[in-house]
Amino acid sequence: MIPLRAYPRRYTGLMSVPSTTTLRVRYAETDQMGVVYYANYLIWCELGRVEFLRQLGFDYKSMEAEDGCMLPVVEANCRYKSPARYDDLIRIETRVTGLRQHVIKFGYRILRAESGELLAEAETVHVVVDAAMRKQPMPEKYAQAIRATMTQVVPQSALS
């Protein structure tokens, strides 16, 4: 089992081991106040999600072309803790926080790479659909690979 650590209380039960992606904040991602524009955090979540799947041996392009499996975002939430700025090195931790027949949830932690300071926490919810946007079950090869990365999560207080 892995401890819950800094993940919000809503993350309980099974959760995948996180995938980590690192990037450097580009000038174009900042706003007039010199901080990263809020919508860019969701773009970073997509980057983390794509890399999570790639580390499992899959990519969106093949999932769509070979299996007709698409994962549109139907809900996105982001809680901002501290601003990221131009040239900061950012670490995105991505994990699956829920997997059902037609739905997959990803959780994200966006951190300042050097210090580990938490900048934002996010979650996206996706429905599995075919090319005609009809709900379909997650193809078993993807579900099986994702389930293989999942482990029981317990609150830190339960480990003391």
Domain ranges of the chain: 2-6+22-154
Specify the pLDDT at position 1.
35
Specify the pLDDT at position 155.
54
State the residue for tokens 């994990």: 95
Q: What is the DSSP letter of 114?
A: T
Query: In this structure, which topology does domain 2-6+22-154 adopt according to CATH?
Result: Thiol Ester Dehydrase; Chain A (3.10.129)
Specify the pLDDT at position 154.
54
Q: What are phi and psi of 8, to 5 degrees?
A: -60, 160
Strand-pair partners of 110? 92, 120
Specify the pLDDT at position 4.
39
Closest CA to 93 of 70, 119, 75, 125: 119
The secondary structure of 80-133, three-state, reads ECCCCECCCEEEEEEEEEEECCCEEEEEEEEEECCCCCEEEEEEEEEECECCCC
Q: What is the pLDDT of residues 39-75, one digit of tens each?
A: 999 999 999 999 999 999 999 899 999 999 999 999 9
Task: Check: CB of residue 131 under 8 Å from CB of residue 70.
Answer: yes
As annotated, the active-site residues are 31
| C-alpha span between 115 and 89 (Å, rounded) | 10
The parts of the chain modelled with pLDDT lower than 70 are 1-13, 152-160
Specify the pLDDT at position 86.
96
Q: Which pTM does this prediction carry? A: 0.85
Specify the pLDDT at position 24.
98
Query: Could you tell me what percent of the chain has a pLDDT over 90?
Result: 78
